Structure 1
Amino acid sequence: MAAVTDRLIVDAHHHVWDLTARPQPWISGEDLAPLNRSFGVGDLAPEAAAAGVSATVVVQTVCVPEETPELLALADGSDLIAGVVGWIDLTAPDVADALAALRGQPGGDRLVGIRHQVQEEPDPGWLLRPDVQRGLIAVAEAGLAYDLIVKPHQLPAATLAAARLVGLTFVLDHLGKPPVADATLEPWAANVRKLAALPNTVCKLSGLVTEAAPGRGRPEDLAPYADVVLEAFGPHRLLFGSDWPVCTLRADYSEVVRIAEHLVERLSPGEKDAVFRRNALRVYRLQPPGRVTTGD
């Protein structure tokens, strides 16, 4: 029988966008100017291959219904993209039907999660609204995960939402955007620990380099924040994500991978494999990527 081996890395969080299809309103100001162009899978693929990444999860960037079908179609024609975290209007009365419609589109089998830009909502308790809760129940019933993109002051509401909806896996993006630039931990750390105490929550080790002030994205600057989530969630509830191309504001793709490897260097080989591969496969129910035969 042929032996089977798996490549090492699944990138659980990156983006693509095409400015000829639609604008990205969040890209504004001089600091984000380098992102003000189109980024596609063709740009990512060689960098991912060089870093040992064999599969990825692409994540929505704008809250419009047209984007998710496009991402699904992109995944359907890609050997790299294994999953899509898309967007739907969680407050709409037909959430279940909308999810079923996405599943029926080309690439619909690669829909693995839903996300909304909660960080932009003025109401810190947006996730607790009855119409939003109804939408989240539909996401859970569809067997999908829910990605949390929140700022630190929104973590208490996220924790209460996760406590109410025990059948839904909540995936915290970018560690909940800790105050890395201010070199402070609290109250972010205490609130992250409360979220992590719930068994239906996981966390992406992603986005740290862009939260740091320019020139302060070294592993030693980021380690205090990584240590908090390593302790709180444990290595079997952490997922590596590059946050490409946003990460390129501070570091290139391979450097982001190297920084993440440094931040978890004290883990055992099995625990590292969980962070960089197995947890993403489990949480997003991905097909194991990069399987190759090595002989009889």
Structure 2
Amino acid sequence: MIIDAHQHFWQKSLSFDYGWLDAPQHKAINKDFLPADLLKNISQVGVEKTIFVQTQHNVEENRWALGLAEKHDFIAGVVGWVDLASPKCEEQLLEFKDNPKFVGIRHITQDEPDDDFIVRDDVRRGLKVLEKHGVPFDLLFYVKHLKHAALLAKEFPNLPIVIDHLAKPRIKEQVTADWVNNFREAAKQPNVYCKLSGMVTEADWENWKPADLKPYVETALEAFTPQRCMYGSDWPVCELAASYKDVFNVLKEIVGPLSESEQSAIFGKTANEFYGLNLIP
């Protein structure tokens, strides 16, 4: 079974904050993207299940996305949001955690003005709540935040953590020096995983090629092994630089030399294990 571990939906008529879509460079994705649109894409490449990942710091989006997941069987899970810094964090989590399709939490850490937001005492109390309830956590980091990943993993050894988009290395400039050491340090912690996602939008949108992505994928596979790496399309954000089919196929090409079992991990088994989907024996 092939699982896309990272995709989004949005509907602009809803009362959510989609202001970032109004930026001129985001014109191509400044419209609704809903399950029917994704289904057309995944059917082209054989993806059977997907994981929706939050875009809002708003529990109402959790409710909306879970409603979509109830109606569309291919949506295997929802990574939602709770206010990690709030005393109400656990109360918010308890509303959702027993829903079988609620599989994780993410906070858009990359947009926080405080680079040390994720290691603040109040936020760490929230992460302790996630660890207590066994709810996985997606890290949306820029490279500058990556130094915190290993620290968090050590402090919360029973909290499954996944680094989204390889922490957004500077693929366009082909720079690794500011990224690779902290990335490898994070990989030394057995509870940290990595999404092979979001790479085309860190490359040159107009002129990227597979060779631009390959060193980053290979570094991730070496550091984490395929058993802790998972495919994610980052659709529809990927549409800024590539079609869904192109994103899927380029990763298939790069990991082609790996064994069948290693490719099965990347394209399904790792996500199945990390998010507790129970879809693959």
- TM interval, shorter chain, is over 0.9
Paired with 2:207 and 2:182, the residues of 1 have a C-alpha distance of 24
Partner residue in 1 for 2:134: 143
Q: Which amino acid aligns with 2:66?
A: L
Partner residue in 1 for 2:68: 74
Q: Which amino acid aligns with 1:269?
A: E
Asked if 2 retains the 8 angstrom alpha-carbon contact of 1:15 and 1:59, the reply is: yes
* Pairs within 5 Å for 1:212-291: 212-288=203-279
Q: Aligned residues, how many?
A: 280
Structure 1 residue runs of 5 or longer lacking an equivalent are 1-6, 292-296
Task: Tell me how far 1:24 sits from its aligned partner.
Answer: 1.0
SS of residue in 1 equivalent to 2:267 = helix
Partner residue in 2 for 1:121: 112
Identity of aligned residues (%): 39
Asked if 2 retains the 8 angstrom alpha-carbon contact of 1:159 and 1:195, the reply is: yes
Paired with 2:208 and 2:139, the residues of 1 have a C-alpha distance of 23
Instruction: Give every structure 1 segment of 4 or more consecutive aligned residues whose post-TM-superposition deviation is greater than 2 Å.
Output: 214-217
SS of residue in 2 equivalent to 1:109 = coil
Task: Tell me how far 1:31 sits from its aligned partner.
Answer: 1.2
Q: Which amino acid aligns with 1:45?
A: L
Q: Give the structure with higher Rg (CA).
A: 1
State which of 52, 69, 72 in structure 2 corresponds to 1:58.
52
State which of 10, 13, 32 in structure 1 corresponds to 2:6.
13
Stretch deviating more after TM superposition (196-205 or 123-132): 123-132
Stretch deviating more after TM superposition (260-269 or 270-279): 260-269
Which whole-Å deviations, capped at 9, do the CAs of 1:65-105 have from their partners, x for residues lacking one?
2111111111111111000000110011122221111236x
SS of residue in 1 equivalent to 2:19 = coil
Paired with 1:23 and 1:139, the residues of 2 have a C-alpha distance of 25
Asked if 2 retains the 8 angstrom alpha-carbon contact of 1:12 and 1:240, the reply is: yes
What CA RMSD, in Å, does the superposition of the two structures yield over aligned residues? 1.3
Partner residue in 2 for 1:96: 90
Partner residue in 2 for 1:197: 188
State which of 39, 47, 63 in structure 2 corresponds to 1:45.
39
Paired with 1:75 and 1:214, the residues of 2 have a C-alpha distance of 31
Q: TM-score, normalised by structure 1?
A: 0.92
Paired with 2:171 and 2:22, the residues of 1 have a C-alpha distance of 21
Partner residue in 2 for 1:24: 18
State which of 203, 210, 224 in structure 1 corresponds to 2:201.
210
